[in-house]
Structure 1
Amino acid sequence: MPLYFFRIRNGRYSGASEHGIELADHNAAWQELTSSCADMVGGICRKLGRDTQWEMELLDERKQPVFRICLVADSLNNGGSKPTTGQSRRPRAEHS
């Protein structure tokens, strides 16, 4: 079975894991990534600063990204005043 590794960008646990996990295929890898992110996202959101980004990737055996989930915190206004029109950011799912 293929070996996969997690990598986190930003925050307390930044870096790539040294211990891989065996998963049957990319579908199982996606399920593992989304399940792991779901378990962590509450704690991440509570500590995420303004205008920052948190990412979790699943890497293959060659340590190349297979999937990535990003959590982005953007300020959508100017100095605390009302939001400027046309400056919304739509969330997007990414995968490599």
Structure 2
Amino acid sequence: MKEIMPYEVEQLLKHKPVIVDVRELSEWMTNGHIPGAVHIPLSQLEEKAAGLDRTADIIVVCRSGSRSEAACEWLQTSGYRAYNMKGGMSSWFWDKTYGS
């Protein structure tokens, strides 16, 4: 499994990476998200993945990293270059609050 750390994602934001957030809508709306991220709940990933660029590096996030890991595995076996953001949004907010 290819992984990327939250601080690395933050450094890449200026390059406008493809970030896919696979949390449910309620989590996306109430718990915040990474600027520029695309929201595709894990349950809809297979049907909506066709809209993703197969030539781009895709960073996948969820709350803690478990759902995004499953999403990454599916994307990788489907021919996408996907990276799981280790620790998910919990780590993202921790890093933003307390440093990496």
TM-score, scaled to structure 1? 0.30
Higher strand share: 1
TM-score, scaled to structure 2? 0.29
Q: Which has the higher contact order (CA 8 A, sep 6+)?
A: 2
Higher helix share: 2
